[in-house]
Amino acid sequence: PDGTILRMNEATDQLFGYTRVPTDLPMSQRIKLHALIKENGQPAATEELPVPRALRGEVVHNETFGAPSPVTGEIRWLSYSSAPVYDSSGQPRGAVLTFRDVTARKRAEEEIERLNQELEHRIKDRTGELEAANKELEAFAYSVSHDLRAPLRHIDGFIGLLEKQARGKLDDKGRHYMDLIAESAK
């Protein structure tokens, strides 16, 4: 009930980073689950830990906590499930916990998150570059349009004058060329 582990198997012992593998821990060597951390890196509060939750009668499936090794300090990510153990009067007196090492999955998720953030940053940079290039292109197109407007108006005006004076003197091919020039200038 006080959150200490009385027994653990060899695999669980290794998950928590202990090098000696006891199967029955004497009372003087009990291990407390007080150092678990949540996925956001914050220490888990006592009421969030598996044993206190089981003592409240909760059954938990596949929640993840980080467990710093007491030897190396390396964090192992563990998915745990827990269930209460009841005494003869029906009161929760302890808990059975199972742990699964999900460190590799957690590290892969972190790498994916890092790569996604990097990709989003690149997209943001490229979008900025594309917007700048589009603004330059728009400015260039406006400048070209403005610079060509006056000469094209002159061409259109002169083709109109030429058409009034020479249209009757031109053959079909000449009139066709004048129409093409007028249409293109417009």
Write the pLDDT tens digit of every residue in 105-148.
999 999 999 999 999 999 999 999 999 999 999 999 988 888 88
Which pLDDT value is given to residue 33? Answer: 57
Cβ(25)–Cβ(31) below 8 Å = yes
pTM of the model: 0.56
> What number is the average pLDDT over the span 37-65?
84
Contact 39, 64 (CB under 8 A): yes
What is the rounded distance in angstroms from the CA atom of residue 115 to the CA atom of residue 64?
Answer: 22
Contact 78, 102 (CB under 8 A): yes
Q: For 62-79, what is the mean pLDDT?
A: 83
CA-to-CA distance for 58 and 60, rounded, in angstroms?
A: 6
Percent of the chain with pLDDT over 90: 25
């066709």: which residue's tokens? 176
* Strand ranges inside 17-127, DSSP E: 31-32, 60-68, 75-86, 92-101
Pairing of strands 4-5, 75-86: unpaired
CA gap 24, 29 in Å, rounded: 10
Distance CA 184, CA 152 (A): 9
* Number of C-beta neighbours around residue 141 at 10 A: 10
